[in-house]
Every structure is written in structure tokens, then in C-alpha cells.
Structure 1
Amino acid sequence: MKLGLFKPKPRTPVELVLHLRHLLPYAAPNPDVRKSKRTEKICELRKVILEVRTVLYGDERSEPAEEACVKLTQEFFKEDTCHMLIASLPHLDPGTRQDVTHVIANLHRQRVNGRSLASDYLERNTALLAMLLPGCEDSELAISYGAILRECIRHQVAAKYILESDHIKLFFKYIQDPSFDIASDAASTFTELLTRHKSTVAEFLDKNYDWFFLEYNSLLESSNYITRRNAVRLLRAMLLDRSNTPVMVRYVCSLDNMRIFMNLLRDSNKTIQLEAFHVFKLFLANQRKPQEIVKVLIANRSKLIRFFSDFTFEKADENFESDKAEVVKEIATLELEGQPSLKEISC
């Protein structure tokens, strides 16, 4: 008799999720569960997570089946499996955590009858987001938690919840964490949060302008060049987005803000200098510059023109030289009485 003929029948997608839900409580240590039993269950849990991943992504033998993905997605978001799975991450090995991250990422992008079940789930379970955020400052979990959080932010309901809560303030701490992994992952999530959902971000920046940019300017003046570089790059993206035009106009009317960018133009890092230039030119393109800004530019006219004459980059975009010429022209013709017309600088 060949035992290979009696292999167990593969579980259906629904059975896989039900079995996953049954095994997840064993992930965390429990004094009421024998160590040997828990070890056995965790081993089984790893296999089930891998099976779920195979259903969603396929393998070398077959592509994922749409119907199976739909049924798995429906069962996964029917109850609290998502919350249980994320809560188990600290107790799983790195390889299994990576599989979990891929599974959740796929499920958040699945659509059933044109609808995102993940979005509906997050709207009912915002506590999940509150659970993910503290994990972003754990050196072992930051990559997994950050990746999952970014998948959640793809849904407007999740981004809006974080932006409207005090959780958004945590990112100013995470981004400046001494750990490179924590800081860089937090910067990626912060960028996603402030660029993906245009109308939500514009509303947030308008309502929270004062405290947000006070905190943000501290990133621009950070002693860490990676923090400065990421902050300048993200600010450029935000200010040049048409949805944020009112915020951009408000930002470039501030003398304190302009002074920060005059300093960043002299940064030792060339990438920061170039990114800073693309923001600095917005202060010059503003046709309603406050007189205090005009006075500072006039007082520093000679130094600025001399500075820009040597301000060159090997890999600058094709508009750089023409933009620089417009900036120099504007500085050279500034007057305190009446504002000269300035052609709009290409961005």
C-alpha cells in the first residue's frame, strides 16, 4: 500500500482562514498550553500562512485563481482575523512575519464585486491602526508594521483617521529615531500619508497649518542629513501639488520659512541643495511677496546673485538653468515700491 495515494485533501480558502483563526491564539506564550503543543501549533500556523500566501500569489506551478482569492478575502475580513494576525507578529519568526506582510498586502488590494472589503473593515476597526503605529518604533517589527500600515493608508478612511488623530504627531519622533531602519521606514510611511489622498491631505494641512509646519521645519533643520533630505523632498512634493496651492501660498509668505531655505541652499549635500532650490524658487515666484521678504532679498541681492552664478549640478533637470535665470532676474529687479510682474516659474 502506498501511503502517498492517501494525501489529505487541500483545504478550501474558507477552511484555510478558519483554521488560521483557530491557530492564531497559540502564537503568544500561554501558561495554560504545554510548550510542546504550542510548538506544534506554531509549526502548523507557519504552514497555513504559507498556504494562504500561495492561494493569493500562486506558485511555480499555477497562477492564483480569482474565485479562490475572492472567497479567501471575504472570509478573512468577515471576522477579526486581520487584527489577530497582526497581533501575532511579535511572536513569529522573521520569515513568517514576511509571509504575513505579503498576505495582508495582497488582501488589502483585493476587490470583491468592485468593492474593497479591507476599506470597509478598517472603517469599522480603526483600533487596528492605533495598534500598528507603536510597532513602527520597534527595531524588530518596524519593517513589517510599517509595510502593513502603508497598505492600510492606501485606503482613504485609514489615512483620514491617522491625520485627524494625535497619531500623526508620532511620526516626527519616529523619523528622527537613531535607528536607520526605524527612521527610514517611518519616512516612507509619512510620505505615503501626506501624498496619496490629495483632498484629505489638503484639508488636514489647512486645518493644522501652524503646529504642523512648526514641527516640519524642525525636520528641515535637523542635524541628520538624511532627515533633511527626505523632509525637503517631501515638502517640495506637497507644495507643488495643485491640491495644496493655498497652503503653498501661505508657506512662501513666511520670512522664517524662506530663511530656512536660504540656509539649505548652502547645505553640504548636493541633493539637498537642488531640492531646496526647487522650493526656494517658489518664494521668488510669489507675486505678492510680503515686504519683509523683499527687504531681506534686496539686502542680500549681491550675495545671492554671486551665489547662483556658481550654483550648478551635473544631473539637474532640463529646466534647472532656465529656472535659475528667472530667479536671478527676479532678485536683480526687486523693488520695495510695487511688485514687478514675474513670469510663472516652471516647476
Structure 2
Amino acid sequence: MNIFFRNRSKSPHELVKIVRDSVARLGSPDRKAAEDISKCLVAMKMILYGDDDTDPSPELVAQLSQEVYNNDLLLLLVKHMALLEFEAKKDVAQIFNNLLRRQIGSRYPTVDYLAKNEDILFTLQLGYENQEVALNCGMILRECARHEPLARILLLAPGFYKYFDYVEVGSFDVASDAFATFRELLTRHKTLVSGFLQENYEKASDWYHAFFECYTVLLNSENYVTKRQSIKLLGEILLDRANFNVMTRYISSADNLKLMMNLLRDGSRSIQFEAFHVFKVFVANPNKNRPVSEILRKNREKLINFLSSFHNDHDDQFNSEKAFLIKQIQEMA
């Protein structure tokens, strides 16, 4: 162990200085820089979390937090995370999330700091493009997304649309983690999300895409997990009361209805089941427009026969919903 770890506990100022100075030496053949950072991160965790015998000292926690902010340590650590040792990567995520949860009265100092230093958030998001740090960055991003000011920055930035690529990357673990963050951003803060979806239902500028155009690509994905997660999330979004205007607009599209009818016949029972919960909104809508009504009337007999034998092994509530839909379609004759 290096001499500065032998004699006494290092102060927050000293720990942050060692990490900051060592980052510049990362990547060299000498592993000392990475080792020194790892040891300092362990010491920082001890300050923030305490141990079995000692609770964290509020004074030391406050000192460490301020040193981290003053030295832009969060950005340095996120930018160079791929060069850290395996356990150190996990320690960065734990330290970051502990600081995010730190509250003084009604304030979250780290949230305020990140809101003024957006590059840290965007650097974390780019972590999904590096498999070595993707899961660590995802853990931090979801903690950030719990705070509306940070979720707003992530949701309204052009980089948000990168999630449509991240959720389809080759690595199952990375794609699943990216989808978990994607879902958090689209479900956590109801009013924020509703406004975003309404504003971006159709293309609004050179760098904002039409949200549901991109989402339709996910619903047609050849990746089974992506398709199943996407149709389930779509149901959550449309059935959320906060998104009533978005739902009304979505179920007024004949193309969207055709897509759901195709997904009802998907080879996966799970996808069929999730598609049913979106399809039922089209049928139950008392104010169907003419294109939607015509599709349902034109396929009336086929739909009745199909639904009559559709997932008959489900619970009473599902069967009751199905019977209601069949009745609605029958009455459209």
C-alpha cells in the first residue's frame, strides 16, 4: 500500500486531490495511478456510507461533497471510467448516487450542480456506447432520472433519441439496461413526459424527431426482447391518465390500428398479450374516427372469430375485457 494510506485517514481535500492528479496519469503502463484512484474511492465511500461501527460524519460528507464539486471530479471520473479498475467503476457509481441522494432541507446540492453542468449527464449517456462502462453509467442515469430537473435535461436534449439505438445494440445486458433508463425517463415525471410527447408527436425541428415514428421502428424490431418491452411500455404510456391527449391522437391513426392487429398475431404469446392491451383502447374508444371504424367493420367477422379463441387460458378479468371488445365489434355491423 502506498505511504499516504499507511499512517492516517486522508482528508476529503487530500483524497480528491490525489484522484484528480492521478486521472492525468491513467492509461500509462504504470498501474499506480489506477491503484491510487481505487484506494481513494474506497476511502470516499467510507466517508459517505460509514461502516459497521461508524456512521457517516455530516461534516466530512459536506466537505467531500464540496471538494468534489469544486474540482469537477464527477466529470473527470465519468470521462475516464473505462480506464479504472473493475471495482473502482462500481465505486464511482455508488459514490455518484450517494451524492445525488444527499439532501439539505428541500435542496439536493448534487442535482443543482449537475443541472448547471449538463456535460456530465450527456457524458454518462454516451457511456452506453462503451460496453465496459455502460451498466455503471446506466445505474447513475436512472438515479439522475428520479430528479425532475435532470430528467428534463436528458429528455429534451437531442441525445435522448440515441436510446432508440441503444435499446437495440448487440449486447443483451446493455440493451436491457438502456431500455430500463429509457422507460424511467418516459414514465417517472408525468407532466414533463406528457408535454414532451405532445410537443414531439410530429417532427418539431431539425434535431427533434417525431417520437412515435421512432417508436414504431421498435415495435417492428426483429429483436424479440426489444419488441416485447416496447409494446408493454407503449401500453403503460397510453393508459396513463396524464397522457390522455397523446392516447387520443395515437388511437385516431388507422396505421397504428393496423400495427396492433398485426402484433396480435405475432409468434410470441407475450407480445400478443401486450398488443391486446393497446388494441382494446382503439376498440373501446367511443369517438372512433371514420378510418379506424372502417377497418374494424371491414374485419368484423375475422376479429370476432380471432378474439373468441384468443388466450382463453387467462384470468377472469382478461376474459371479461375480451368479451367486452367482442361485443363492441359486433355492434359495429
TM over 0.5: yes
For 1:282-321, list aligned pairs within 5 A: 282-312=281-311, 314=313, 316=314, 319-321=317-319
Distance change >3 Å, CA 117–CA 78, structure 1 → 2? farther
For structure 2, list consecutive stretches of 5 or more residues without a partner in the other structure.
1-5, 203-209
Aligned twin of 1:331: 329
Identity, in percent, stands at 39
Q: Pick the aligned partner of 1:143 from 135, 139, 143.
A: 135
5 Å-filtered alignment, 1:1-347, equals 8-29=7-28, 35-36=29-30, 39-210=31-202, 211-312=210-311, 314=313, 316=314, 319-335=317-333
Q: Confirm or deny: 8 A CA contact 1:139 1:181 kept in the other structure.
A: no
User: Which stretch of structure 1 is more off in the superposition, 65-74 or 234-243?
Assistant: 65-74
Q: CA deviation at 1:272?
A: 1.3
Structure 1 residue 317: Cα displacement: 5.7
Q: Partners in 2 of 1:114 and 1:164 — Cα distance?
A: 25
* Residues matched between the structures, number: 322
Contact 2:18 2:36 in 1 (8 A): no
Larger CA deviation: 8-17 vs 195-204: 8-17
Structure 1 residue 28 displacement after superposition: 4.3
Give the CA deviation at 1:216.
0.3
Worse-superposed segment, 289-298 or 247-256: 289-298
* Separation in structure 2 between the aligned mates of residue 84 and residue 106 of structure 1, nearest angstrom: 17
CA distance in 2, matches of 1:223, 1:78: 47
How far apart are 1:291 and its partner, in Å?
1.2
Could you say what secondary structure the match of 1:104 adopts? helix
Cα deviation digits, residues 155-211 of structure 1 (max 9, x gap): 222222222221111111111212212211211111111111111111110111021
CA contact (8 A) 1:261 1:280 kept: yes
Task: For residue 222 of structure 1, give the secondary structure of its aligned residue in structure 2.
Answer: coil
Cα distance in 1 for residues equivalent to 2:247 and 2:66 = 43
Q: Distance in 1 between matches of 2:252 and 2:229?
A: 23
Partner-residue secondary structure (3-state), 1:27: coil
2:190 maps to amino acid: K
Letter in 2 for 1:23: S
Alignment deviations for residues 280-302 of structure 1 (CA, whole Å, 9 cap, x no partner): 11111211101111111111111
Q: Is the 8 A contact 2:300 2:330 kept in 1?
A: yes
- Could you tell me how far 1:262 is from its partner in structure 2? 0.7
The separation in 1 between residues aligned to 2:223 and 2:123, in whole angstroms, is 29
- CA gap of 1:204–1:10, structure 2 versus 1, over 3 A, is same
Contact 1:284 1:330 in 2 (8 A): yes
Deviation for aligned residue 1:141: 1.8
Q: CA deviation at 1:313?
A: 5.8
Contact 1:142 1:181 in 2 (8 A): no
Question: Conserved in 2, the CA contact under 8 Å of 1:265 and 1:272?
Answer: yes
Query: Alpha-carbon deviation of 1:18?
Result: 4.0
1:193-245 Cα distance to aligned partner (Å, 9 max, x none): 11111111111101110211011011111111111101011111111111111
Q: Deviations over 1:254-276 (max 9, x none)?
A: 11001111111112222211111
Could you tell me which runs of 5 or more consecutive residues in structure 1 were left unpaired when the two chains were aligned. Answer: 1-6, 30-34, 336-347
Q: Deviations over 1:62-109 (max 9, x none)?
A: 444444434433332344111111112011122211111111111111
1:233 maps to a residue whose letter is: K
User: In 2, distance between residues paired with 1:67 and 1:308?
Assistant: 64
CA contact (8 A) 2:93 2:140 kept: yes
Question: 1:119-169: CA deviations, max 9, x gaps?
Answer: 111211111222222221222221112222222222222222222221111
